[in-house]
Amino acid sequence: MREDLDGRGRRQAQSRKRGAGRRGRSGMGGVGFLSLVLAVLVVTAGWLYWYKLIRGEKTRVDERDRMAEVETEFFPDDPSASRVLLESSQVKETAGESETGEAAREETSAETPAAQKAAQTPKELMERMTLEEKVLQLFIITPEALTGVDEVYAAGTKTREAIDAYPVGGLVYFRQNLKDPAQVKDMLSRSKGYFVDRIGIAPFLSVDEEGGQVTRIGGRREFGAASFPDMSKIGANGDPGEAYRVGTTIGEYLSEYGFNVDFAPVADVLTNPENTVVARRSFGSDGAAAAAFTNEVIRGLEEKGVEAVLKHFPGHGGTAADSHKGYAQTLRTLEEMREEEFVPFREGIKAGCRFVMVGHISAPKAAGDERPAIFSKKMVTDILRGELGFDGIIVTDAMNMKAVTDSYGSSEAAVLALQAGVDMLLMPADFRAAYSGVMEAVKNGTLSEARIEESVQRILTVKMGME
């Protein structure tokens, strides 16, 4: 019995040891499985972390590459190959400045803007300018010509860089630049600030807002601005007070948005019934009556803080052709023009208008040659300055018009206009060529620096008077 008991005991003990072994092996297997799962989770989490990190970095690199690509369009050498770029002040742009912009930057003054802004008179400010800065004051160009961007409706990094490189005398805006009141205010405010920081004085911020046929803002729903009938109809009504209302209304919204120059009113007297270019824009065919209306527009604009511009001297109303499309000639004699065409200009000058725009009209019987008036020293200096006594700013009509570009390159046209006595060059077909041409003309003696300073003095005098 004892042996049987002992045998059973030994068998039970062995059985318990085998059971314990199995339980031990089973427990160790559970721990290993859990460790494996944990390791897989750690590896997966690590992989996801690095994937997101690398992906995020790639996104940032792609964004930098994209912005660098945008910056390479600054001053494109081949405008036909450039894409439409819409500058936005909300986009942070990289500094990929072009060689042209950098070269111009190196030529400009190293003096700090704060020192320039300390100038109290036009003469003091001009004395602190380099020759390059003085020459640049002679230009009014579009924001597209300034930046190299195909369509500009904001003032961001590219605008600031372009102004830093080329602090021109002013900018002119068209319908595509003007989307709504808030956008226009922001764009003009930023642009003005960039100019003040760079050159120490605000630019001319201009627009063609005549009312009637030619308007960039009036009548547009997004602006809620009033619209007016053609000036020919207002003139026919015989009430100059209506012209004053045109001036005050337009002046009020332009001033609110930040404009300080309006290329209006049209002072052309409609002496040729076949004329189409100013037929609807002129106040009529009688010089004295037209003067009464143009003076009221001037008064209205200036009361609202906007400079008026009498245009288009010596008078586009006697032509049959359109100078936008090609050569335009009037066969009116000097005596005839004194009796009619010159009257609104003479009266506007007496009223204190500080801008006169000279057109691309040829007047061979009055000027003695067939070149456009902007190239005629007799018309610009002898008659407008001398006979009519105008001492303000003489600005050209847009120099990208066919009456100029059909026969003259941008460089030649700019130099010829300055030699005739013009102060400011509006919208050359090729701004950089015109600027380079004027610089070269000063350096080789074709134009004197004193001639440049004469115009800059007038420009700065008007600008300081606006502040």
Residues 327, 406 contacting (CB under 8 angstroms): yes
Q: Is 324 a catalytic residue?
A: yes
What is the spatial distance between Cα 23 and Cα 57, in angstroms, rounded to a whole number?
A: 52
Q: Return the closest-CA partner of residue 288 out of 240, 246, 320, 237.
A: 240
Token couple for 35: 């460790």
In 92-239, where does DSSP find H-type helix?
99-107, 113-117, 122-127, 131-136, 143-147, 157-165, 181-199, 231-237
Q: CB of 424 within 8 A of CB of 169?
A: yes
Nearest in space to 215 (alpha carbons), one of 175, 163, 159: 175
* DSSP letters spanning 106-138: HHS--S-HHHHHT--SHHHHHHTS-HHHHHHTT
Is 150 one of the annotated active-site residues of the chain?
A: no
DSSP state, residue 387? I
Omega before 312 cis (within 30°)?
yes
User: Which residue of the set 230, 262, 268, 397 is catalytic?
Assistant: 397
Show the DSSP H helices in 270-309 as ranges: 287-303
Contact 246, 300 (CB under 8 A): yes
Q: Which helix (H) or strand (E) holds 262?
A: strand 261-262
Candidates 186, 322, 324, 382; catalytic one: 324
CB atoms within 10 A of CB 336: 17
Sequence-distant (6+) residues with CB within 8 A of 464 are 121, 122, 125, 201
Helix axes 342-350, 287-303, angle to 10 degrees: 40
Edge to edge, what strands does the sheet with 393-396 contain?
310-313, 355-358, 393-396
Do the strands 328-329 and 307-308 form a parallel or antiparallel pair, or are they unpaired? unpaired
Which amino acid makes up residue 69? Answer: E
Q: Which amino acid is at 73?
A: E
**Which residues are tagged catalytic?**
324, 397
